[in-house]
C-alpha cells in the first residue's frame, strides 16, 4: 500500500507543473531559498573562492533538513538562525555522483529561518577558470571567471542548483587590490582600488545566472545604460564592434516589451572563454573571438541580449527544457538581426543555423534530437547540440508562419509578460500554447502537430527549410569557379564565405585549395569563424600549408565550438591524432575545464592518459 501510494505520488508529481529536476538534489517543495548573501574572498594564490553563503529559508512542508548541491566543495561549518540567534548545526556531505556532485544535507530543525555555510571551492572547480598573469593579454595580473550554466554554480557556491528556483542575491567580494570584480548584478562603473566590492541582484534569478569575474578590467561606455568591461588591449575594439547594442535593446523592447534589468553591460573575457557568450543578467559574458573589426558576428550580442526576455525573464524549469531558453532566444536573436540589418542577413544566419542543425541531426542518436530531451543522469553538457537552438527556433518560425507575424508577435509579448520571473516546463508551455494560440485561432496548427515538434525526433516533414537567395548566388559562383572561372567575391560578407567554404565539394582538388588560399588568404583570415571553417576543411583535405595556423588557432582559442570540431576531425586518422594530442597537451593548461573535458574525451576516447 505504502509502495503503491509512493508510486502514485511520483506519477502525480511528474504530471504537475514543477516536474522534478533530475540534475539537482534540491527539494524545493519542502524548503526553498529565495535569497542569498555571499561573503567571499577570491584568492588567486590558492585558486579558491571561499567564505560564506547565507540563505533565507522558505518552508513549504514540515521538514527538518535542507538539501543543497555541491561539487568538489570543502564545507567547514554550518549554522542556523533560530529566534534571531546564530547557532552551529550538523551537516553531511554525501559521496559524489560523477555528474551531479555531492548532496549537502543540513539539519535546520523546524524553527530555523536562515542557514549559513562556510566553504571553499576546489582549484579544479568545473565552473571557474583561473588564468595566470602570463595567460592574459596584459600579462601583469591574473584573471578568473565563472560559467555556472548549466550545473556548475554548485562548484563555487553550495546551492539549490536547479533553474526551477529563483533567488535574489547580495554579495561582498574581496580580492587582490587593483583588480576589478564584476558580477551578474549592479556593477558600478567605478573601480574599487582596495579590491573590496559589494553587489546586489534585486530581481529573482535562477542559480545558473549567478556569475563573477575578476581581472585587470577597464570600462568604456557605449551609451547611458550600456558599457563594455574588458582588458585594455581590446576595450576600444570591443566598444566599436558592439556599438549597435543600444539599438538592439530598443528594437527588442519595441517587439517584446520592456527590458526589465536596468543596465545592460558586456564583459569581454579572455579567448579561453568556453562559449561564444553567456547571458549573465545585466552583464553578458562575451568571447573576444567575435571581434572581427567589421561587426559581422554581432548576432552573438543579439542572442545574449534576447536572453534578457527568453531565459532570464522566462526560464527553463529543468535542463530537459533548454529549448525554451535557446529556441526562443535564437528566434528573437534572428528577429533583432532582421530589424536592424535587414531580411537578407537574417535569412543567411538562419540558413547557416539550419545547415548546422542538419549536420547534428545526422550524427546524433535520434532520441537526442527530441526537443524535450531525456537526459537521464547524463551531464547536460554531454547532450549539448543545435537541437534546442535551431529546432526550437524552427518550431517558432513555423508557428509564426501558420499564425502570421502580427498575431504571433502579440502572443510572444504576452507570454513574456505572463511568465516573467517564472520557470516553465515543456508541459506547461504546451498547455499555454494550446490555450493562448491554438484554441483562439482554430484550424491552423493541431495539438498533434505541436506534440510532434515537442516529443518526436528529427524534424516534421512540413518544417521550414530556410534558404537564402544570397547563398544560391554563392552556389552558382562556386560551380563556375570549380570549372576554372573567376569568383566574384567583392560584395561577399562573412556569411557568404562561411556558406561557400562549408559547401565546397569534399573532392575539391589540392590545386583548387591552394588557389583559393592564394587568392583570398583564407589560412590567414582574421575572422575566427571563417578561419575555423577553412581549417576544418584543411584537415579533411590534408592541406598542409594551414598546419601552423591550425596549431596557433588551437593554442590561442578555447571557445569549445571553434575548437572541438577541429580536434574531432583530427582524431579521425592516426597521424593527425598524434599531432593533435601533442598540440592539446601544450594547449590544455590554457583551456577552461569544460573545453578540457570535451576535448580530452575526443582525443583519448579510451581514457588513456597520454
Ligand atoms: N546560454 C548559452 C550558453 C550555454 C548553454 C551554456 C547551455 C551552457 C549550457 C548562450 O546563450 C549561448 O547560447 N551561446 C552561444 C551563442 C550563439 C548561439 C550565438 C554560443 O556560445 O555559441
Ligand atoms: Zn543562448
Which residue ranges make up the annotated binding site for Zn(2+)? 303, 307, 326
> Considering only CA atoms, which residue is closest to atom 1 of ligand 1?
278
Cβ atoms of 596 and 588 closer than 8 Å: yes
Instruction: Tell me if the bond preceding 150 is cis, omega within 30° of 0.
Output: yes
Same domain (yes/no): 482, 546: yes
Q: What is the CATH number of the domain that holds 533?
A: 1.25.40.320
How many CB atoms are closer than 10 A to CB 62? 8
Catalytic residue among 389, 398, 567, 591: 389
* Region of residue 257 (phi > 0: left; psi between -120 and 50: alpha; otherwise: beta): left
Beta strands in 217-359 (DSSP E): 218-223, 226-230, 265-268, 277-278, 283-286, 314-316
Q: Residue 414: CA atoms inside 13 Å, Cβ hemisphere, count? A: 12
Boundary (domain end) residue, out of 413, 432, 455: 455
Which residue ranges make up the annotated binding site for a peptide? 147-149, 274-279, 559-561
Element housing 31 (H / E): strand 31-43
Q: Which of 145, 242, 277, 328 to mutate to test the pocket of ligand 1 (most atoms within 8 A of CB)?
A: 277
Residue 55's nearest CA partner among 42, 44, 74, 69 is 69
pLDDT of residue 11: 44
Which atom of ligand 1 lies closest to the CA of 303? Answer: 19
> Considering only CA atoms, which residue is closest to atom 10 of ligand 1?
278
Dihedrals phi, psi of 304, to nearest 5 degrees: -65, -35
Q: Is residue 500 in a domain?
A: yes
Predicted model pTM = 0.96
The single-letter DSSP state of residue 318 is: S
Q: Which stretches of the chain score pLDDT less than 50?
A: 1-3, 5-17, 610
Provide DSSP, 440-456: TSTTSS-HHHHHHHHHS
Cβ atoms of 189 and 219 closer than 8 Å: yes
Decide: 300 in ligand 1 pocket, CB within 6 A: yes
Starting from the edge strand earliest in sequence, which strands make up the sheet with 277-278, in order?
A: 218-223, 226-230, 265-268, 283-286, 277-278
Q: Is residue 57 in a domain?
A: no
Decide: 566 in ligand 1 pocket, CB within 6 A: no
Residue 242's nearest CA partner among 283, 199, 293 is 293
Which atom of ligand 1 lies closest to the CA of 275? Answer: 21
Q: Is 79 a catalytic residue?
A: no
What is the distance between the alpha carbons of residues 430 and 425, in angstroms, rounded to a whole number?
A: 9
Same domain (yes/no): 444, 334: yes
Q: Is residue 1 in a domain?
A: no
Q: How many domains does the chain have?
A: 2
Decide: 326 in ligand 1 pocket, CB within 6 A: yes
Same domain (yes/no): 334, 448: yes
Q: Is 304 a catalytic residue?
A: yes
Decide: 149 in ligand 1 pocket, CB within 6 A: yes
Cβ atoms of 242 and 222 closer than 8 Å: yes
- Please list the residues that pair with 115 across neighbouring strands: 55, 80
Ligand 1 centroid–CA 242 distance in Å is 18
Same domain (yes/no): 487, 366: no
Residue span of the structural domain in which 390 resides? 310-455
> Considering only CA atoms, which residue is closest to atom 8 of ligand 1?
149
Q: Is residue 104 in a domain?
A: no
Catalytic residue among 54, 79, 231, 304: 304
Decide: 275 in ligand 1 pocket, CB within 6 A: yes
Same domain (yes/no): 423, 522: no
Amino acid at each position: 500500500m505504502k509502495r503503491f501510494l509512493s508510486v502514485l505520488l511520483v506519477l502525480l508529481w511528474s504530471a504537475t507543473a514543477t516536474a522534478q529536476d533530475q540534475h539537482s538534489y534540491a527539494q524545493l517543495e519542502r524548503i526553498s531559498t529565495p535569497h542569498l548573501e555571499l561573503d567571499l574572498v577570491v584568492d588567486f594564490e590558492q585558486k579558491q573562492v571561499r567564505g560564506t553563503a547565507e540563505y533565507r529559508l522558505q518552508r513549504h512542508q514540515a521538514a527538518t533538513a535542507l538539501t543543497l548541491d555541491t561539487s568538489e566543495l570543502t564545507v567547514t561549518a554550518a549554522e542556523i538562525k533560530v529566534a534571531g540567534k546564530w547557532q552551529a548545526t550538523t551537516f553531511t556531505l554525501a559521496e559524489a555522483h560523477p555528474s551531479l556532485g555531492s548532496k549537502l544535507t543540513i539539519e535546520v530543525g523546524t524553527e530555523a529561518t536562515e542557514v549559513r555555510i562556510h566553504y571553499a571551492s576546489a582549484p579544479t572547480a568545473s565552473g571557474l577558470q583561473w588564468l595566470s598573469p602570463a595567460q592574459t593579454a596584459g600579462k601583469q595580473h591574473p584573471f578568473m571567471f565563472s560559467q555556472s550554466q548549466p550545473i556548475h554554480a554548485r562548484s563555487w557556491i553550495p546551492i539549490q542548483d536547479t533553474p526551477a528556483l529563483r533567488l535574489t542575491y547580495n554579495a561582498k567580494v574581496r580580492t587582490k587590490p587593483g583588480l576589478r570584480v564584476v558580477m551578474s548584478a549592479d556593477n558600478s562603473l567605478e573601480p574599487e582600488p582596495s579590491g573590496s566590492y559589494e553587489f546586489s541582484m534585486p530581481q529573482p534569478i535562477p542559480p545558473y545566472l549567478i556569475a563573477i569575474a575578476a581581472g585587470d578590467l577597464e570600462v568604456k561606455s557605449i551609451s547611458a545604460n550600456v558599457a563594455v568591461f574588458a582588458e585594455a588591449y581590446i576595450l576600444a575594439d570591443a566598444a566599436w564592434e558592439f556599438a549597435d547594442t543600444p539599438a538592439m535593446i530598443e528594437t527588442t523592447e519595441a517587439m517584446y516589451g520592456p527590458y526589465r534589468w536596468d543596465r545592460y553591460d558586456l564583459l569581454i573575457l579572455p579567448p579561453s572563454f568556453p562559449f561564444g557568450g553567456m547571458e549573465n543578467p545585466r552583464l553578458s559574458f562575451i568571447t573576444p573571438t567575435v571581434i572581427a573589426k567589421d561587426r559581422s558576428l554581432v548576432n552573438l550580442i543579439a542572442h545574449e541580449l534576447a536572453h534578457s526576455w527568453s531565459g532570464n525573464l522566462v526560464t527553463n524549469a529543468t535542463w530537459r527544457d533548454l529549448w525554451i531558453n535557446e529556441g526562443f532566444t535564437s528566434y528573437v536573436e534572428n528577429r533583432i538581426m532582421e530589424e536592424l540589418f535587414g531580411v537578407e542577413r537574417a535569412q543567411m544566419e538562419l540558413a547557416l543555423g539550419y545547415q548546422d542543425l542538419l549536420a547534428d541531426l545526422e550524427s546524433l542518436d535520434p532520441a537526442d534530437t527530441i526537443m524535450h530531451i531525456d537526459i537521464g543522469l547524463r551531464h547536460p553538457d554531454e547532450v549539448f547540440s543545435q537541437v534546442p537552438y535551431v529546432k526550437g527556433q524552427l518550431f517558432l518560425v513555423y508557428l509564426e508562419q501558420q499564425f502570421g507575424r502580427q498575431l504571433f508577435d502579440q502572443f510572444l509579448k504576452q507570454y513574456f509578460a505572463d511568465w516573467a520571473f517564472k520557470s516553465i516546463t515543456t508541459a506547461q508551455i504546451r498547455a499555454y500554447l494550446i490555450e493562448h494560440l491554438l484554441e483562439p485561432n482554430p484550424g491552423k496548427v493541431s495539438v498533434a502537430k505541436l506534440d510532434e515538434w515537442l516529443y518526436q525526433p528529427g524534424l516534421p516533414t512540413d518544417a521550414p527549410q530556410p534558404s537564402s537567395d544570397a547563398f544560391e548566388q554563392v552556389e552558382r559562383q562556386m560551380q563556375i569557379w570549380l570549372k576554372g572561372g573567376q569568383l566574384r567575391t567583392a560584395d561577399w560578407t562573412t556569411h557568404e564565405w562561411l556558406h561557400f567554404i562549408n559547401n565546397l565539394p569534399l573532392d575539391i582538388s589540392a590545386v583548387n585549395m591552394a588557389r583559393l588560399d592564394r587568392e583570398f588568404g583564407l589560412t590567414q583570415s582574421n575572422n575566427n569563424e571563417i578561419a575555423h571553417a577553412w581549417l576544418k576543411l584543411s584537415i579533411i583535405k590534408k592541406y598542409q600549408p594551414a598546419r601552423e595556423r591550425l596549431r596557433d588557432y588551437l593554442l590561442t582559442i578555447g571557445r569549445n565550438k571553434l575548437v572541438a570540431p577541429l580536434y574531432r576531425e583530427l582524431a579521425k586518422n592516426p597521424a593527425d591524432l598524434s599531432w593533435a594530442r601533442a598540440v592539446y597537451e601544450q594547449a590544455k593548461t590554457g583551456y577552461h575545464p569544460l573545453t578540457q573535458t570535451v576535448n580530452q574525451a575526443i582525443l583519448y576516447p579510451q581514457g588513456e592518459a597520454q
